């Protein structure tokens, strides 16, 4: 990130280089308190309103014979239910966790997509708050499911001392597995999501800021390059749409896998 900014800053004064500060815009309300409200929170709230409006209208109008709109909504819900949860857990276990995974999926999808929506241009998930809470939810869910299934000690034993390993190996294996359960799984969920969104935002800003600078301010000989950077920004925008969906899918998928690992009889 530093190299991006430093390289960019070398090009001229009119060039706005993307920085980490983009993700921490100035406060709008309650500055300095825990209620500090900035542009990122506004983006999240807008995304929430749009998401809930779409789904509540869909639910209100839901009919036995679906129309076009209801079909799209059902396709999304069906994708999470069938292709993510039921495929991993099987139909019987899936029922308990479908609402949770669905909520996680649509939330992340909506917040990711704000990164490419003109006017918002900032992914709601690009600061870890949302990802952190969702990861915490997943963490609680797989611990609870595991303890419910095996009992507390049974769950620890099943995870820290997987069968079929020579006893001395447990000295290394058990701490690693404990680290997995406590930190690595949730942390990887958070970091994967946030890093993807941050990187995507920086790529987009870099391309479009460069285009703006090249076309408006740079020497006439340089203006042609603006076409290249614009094409790059265009491609990355499309790529970001794909990444937004992919990251939502991966988060939901891994959450399901972690929960499923907790309630499986054998590892």
Partner 1 sequence: MSAADSHAVLAAGSGDVDPIELFLPPGYDIFWSAIVLVIIAVVFYKLVLPKFTAVLDERTAKIEGGLAKAESAQAEAAAALAEYHQQLQEARTEAAKIREEARAEGSAIVADLRTKASDDAARIVETAHRQIEAERQQASVSLRSEVGLLATELASKIVGESLQDSARQSRVIDRFLDDLESTTAGTAGAGSTVGSTSGKEG
Residues that bind partner 1 (CB under 8 A): 1-3, 5-7, 9-10, 17, 19-21, 23-24, 30, 33-37, 40-41, 44-45, 47-48, 51-52, 55-56, 58-60, 62-64, 73-74, 77, 98-99, 102-103, 106-107, 126-130, 132-134, 190-191, 194, 198
Q: How far is the CB of 89 from partner 1 (least distance, A)?
A: 17
Q: Which is nearer to partner 1, 134 or 145 (CB)?
A: 134
Supply the DSSP symbol for 68.
H
Q: Which is nearer to partner 1, 197 or 236 (CB)?
A: 197
Q: How far is the CB of 199 from partner 1 (least distance, A)?
A: 11
Distance, in Å, from the CA atom of 104 to the CA atom of 200, rounded to the nearest integer, reads 21
Distance, in Å, from the CA atom of 14 to the CA atom of 127, rounded to the nearest integer, reads 27
Q: Which is nearer to partner 1, 27 or 263 (CB)?
A: 27
Q: How far is the CB of 135 from partner 1 (least distance, A)?
A: 11
Tokens 């000295």 — which residue?
Answer: 171
Query: Could you count the other beta carbons within 10 Å of the beta carbon of residue 215?
Result: 16
Q: Which is nearer to partner 1, 59 or 235 (CB)?
A: 59
Q: Where are the alpha helices (DSSP H) in the chain?
A: 2-9, 39-61, 68-78, 87-89, 91-113, 129-150, 152-160, 169-179, 185-212, 223-263
Q: How far is the CB of 72 from partner 1 (least distance, A)?
A: 12
What are the φ and ψ backbone dihedral angles of 123, each rounded to 5 degrees? -70, 130
């Amino acid at each position: 990130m530093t190299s991006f900014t430093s390289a960019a800053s070398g090009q001229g004064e009119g060039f706005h280089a993307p920085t980490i500060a983009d993700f921490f815009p100035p406060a709008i309300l309650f500055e300095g308190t825990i209620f500090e409200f900035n542009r990122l929170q506004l983006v999240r709230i807008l995304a929430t309103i749009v998401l809930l409006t779409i789904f509540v209208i869909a639910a209100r109008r839901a009919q036995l014979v679906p129309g076009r709109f209801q079909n799209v909504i059902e396709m999304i819900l069906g994708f999470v239910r069938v292709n993510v949860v039921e495929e991993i857990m099987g139909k019987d276990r899936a029922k308990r966790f479908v609402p949770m995974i669905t909520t996680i999926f649509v939330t992340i999808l909506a917040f990711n997509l704000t990164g490419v929506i003109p006017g918002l241009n900032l992914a709601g998930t690009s600061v870890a708050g949302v990802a952190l809470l969702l990861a915490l939810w997943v963490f609680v869910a797989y611990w609870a499911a595991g303890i419910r299934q095996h009992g507390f000690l049974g769950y620890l034993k099943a995870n820290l001392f997987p069968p079929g390993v020579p006893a001395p190996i447990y000295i290394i294996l058990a701490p690693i597995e404990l680290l997995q359960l406590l930190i690595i799984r949730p942390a990887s969920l958070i970091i994967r999501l946030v890093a993807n969104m941050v990187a995507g935002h920086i790529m987009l800003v870099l391309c479009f800021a460069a285009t703006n600078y090249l076309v408006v301010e740079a020497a006439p000989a340089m203006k042609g390059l603006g076409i290249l950077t614009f094409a790059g920004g265009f491609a990355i925008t499309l790529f970001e749409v794909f990444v937004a969906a992919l990251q939502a899918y991966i988060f939901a998928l891994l959450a399901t896998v972690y929960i499923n690992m907790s309630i499986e009889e054998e590892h």
